[in-house]
Amino acid sequence: MAAAEGRTIVIGAGLGGLLTSAYLATRGRPVLVLEALDFPGGRFTHLDYDGFAVPTGAFHAIPGGVSGPLYRCLRLVGIHPELAVPDPLFRVRLGDRLYAFDVTRGSVPRRPLGEAIGLRSKLGLFVGLAGVLVGSRLGPEVTVEEAARRIAGTDAAVRLFDRFTKFSLGVPANEASVLEIVRSLRVQRFGREGFLKQGNRAMIEALVARIRAGGGELQTRRPVETIVVESGRAVGVRTADGEHVPAQQVVCNAGARTTARLLGDAAPPDLTARLARSIPAWGAAHSVRAQRKLHDHDSIEIPLDLDHIAGIVPLSNLCPALCPEGWHYSIAYQWLDRGVDVAEQLDEGRADLHRYLGEDIEVFNSAVYRGSHPAAAVAQRVGQHGARRFPTEVQGIRGLYMVGHDVAGYGIAAEVIGHSCLRLWRKLA
């Protein structure tokens, strides 16, 4: 192995690790990516199942679309994936009717929806005035549920925003932060979510190609066992096969908990204390297919009358290349209660989908994300948002950085990763 000489070791080939590696490689900086799995992308790629692009985590989407931090990161490394953008972003089903609902670009939910859930024009106050209310009457730690009750005052509105936070953040409205929502929309520049027409994996493959074209190296099936710290500085890693790999700096994309484990006794008190306070989010993604059209639109559908399913993406309507010809493909997200048996909840979620979409559908894959929901993990709750997440620089260890979904920064879903990358890159520059 070559000498360290300015090299950055990136632990983990997830989205944040690959973005950071591509950024360094395209600027002529030596970079080595070490990934324990046999494929790159982590929870932001997809696997082929009978021609269906089944995501390993994230739903083939870039929140904020071309306006969000994640797309800005991609542009900085010379990648411009083609997106399909729903308009409106959401459609809410209540009974046998669908209502347009959008929280982007400062828009106000349209009047028919407000009337249907007893709000009339009041519903717009949550979007239009939340920034003012958070900083004054409501305070910075108000939950989405509390805000919906104070501003709107109906159970139906609370149910709507509960579904919205469960789908977008992976947490219920009584645990989600209004401050997070407001600042996330600002970070995304109020852009609509865009879906990757060729899927997550095509974007990951483009990032890997950028890394290698810039002289960077990616090694899969190469788990790291220890982050080597000498005199308070990260100087490399030790791999599972016992090799010491030197580096000038180390970037960990494996999550804060894994970072602490790799540091062992060298883990700083601030990191372990934050981990003790963190609360994981649980969720499940159900892949649904049928040989008939499942939805007559391309918006994310929020079914208010279902008990377990928070939102459904009509993926084949948006990105037909992600399933075989003649088939229709949707992905449904279910929030999981940490205090209830997981298998039982999954059965209830699948039963919801059969009642809602028809008995002839096939739920051909159900993936559970415990503590690592692609949209949120520990990062979206009251008291765990923004700067209260894990800092980019690991305190007390020079030359050691973290990047990913649980690192300081604002954004919904993958936008946390994009924002954390932009913050880190400013430091690395």
* CATH at 60: 3.50.50.60
CA distances (Å), 390 to each of 249, 378, 393, 406, in order?
A: 18, 10, 9, 6
| Per-residue confidence (pLDDT) for residue 261, from 0 to 100 | 96
Q: Residue 320's domain is classified under what CATH number?
A: 3.90.660.50
Decide if 30 is inside a domain.
Answer: yes
Same domain, 136 and 60: no
Same domain, 358 and 386: no
Same domain, 274 and 287: no
Q: How many residues does the chain have?
A: 429
Sheet of strand 233-239: strand arrangement: 224-230, 233-239, 244-246
- Helices 178-187 and 124-135, interaxial angle, to 10°? 110
pLDDT of 373 above 50: no
Instruction: Say which residue the tokens 């990047």 belong to.
Output: 403
**pLDDT, mean over the chain:** 86
Question: What is the mean pLDDT of the segment spanning 302-329?
Answer: 97
Same domain, 267 and 297: no
Same domain, 256 and 396: yes
Distance CA 127, CA 102 (A): 10
Distance CA 212, CA 218 (A): 8
Query: 140, 159, 187: which is the final residue of a domain?
Result: 187
State pLDDT tens for residues 249-276.
Answer: 999 999 899 999 999 999 999 999 988 8
Same domain, 12 and 139: no
Decide if 98 is inside a domain.
Answer: no
Same domain, 393 and 273: yes
Decide if 364 is inside a domain.
Answer: yes
Of 169-183, 290-304, 375-389, least confident by mean pLDDT is 375-389
pLDDT of 351 above 80: yes
Angle formed at CA 159 by CA 110 and CA 131, multiple of 5 degrees = 60
Of 93-102, 125-134, 285-294, 356-365, least confident by mean pLDDT is 125-134
Decide if 89 is inside a domain.
Answer: no
Distance CA 349, CA 406 (A): 27
Of 113-122, 387-396, 400-409, least confident by mean pLDDT is 113-122
Same domain, 297 and 347: yes
Decide if 16 is inside a domain.
Answer: yes
Of 43-57, 65-79, 321-335, 370-384, least confident by mean pLDDT is 370-384
Decide if 171 is inside a domain.
Answer: yes
Question: What is the mean pLDDT of the segment spanning 361-373?
Answer: 80
Cβ neighbours for 343, distance < 8 A, ≥ 6 positions apart: none
Decide if 93 is inside a domain.
Answer: no
Global pTM reads 0.90
Pairing status of strand 233-239 against strand 244-246: antiparallel
Instruction: Say which residue the tokens 């415990």 belong to.
Output: 370
| Per-residue confidence (pLDDT) for residue 134, from 0 to 100 | 45
Question: Total domain count for the chain?
Answer: 3
Per the structure block, which two tokens stand in for 350?
A: 């699948």
Decide if 235 is inside a domain.
Answer: yes
Same domain, 286 and 359: yes
Structural domain including 312 reads: 282-370
Terminal-residue alpha carbon distance, the chain: 25
State pLDDT tens for residues 26-79.
Answer: 999 999 999 999 999 998 999 999 999 999 988 899 988 998 889 999 999 999
Where residue 135 falls among pLDDT bands split at 50, 70, 90? very low
Query: 328, 348, 370: which is the final residue of a domain?
Result: 370
Query: 187, 209, 229: which is the final residue of a domain?
Result: 187
Same domain, 59 and 73: yes
Distance CA 24, CA 230 (A): 24
pLDDT of 167 above 90: no
Same domain, 303 and 363: yes
Same domain, 253 and 391: yes
What's the one-letter identity of residue 125?
L
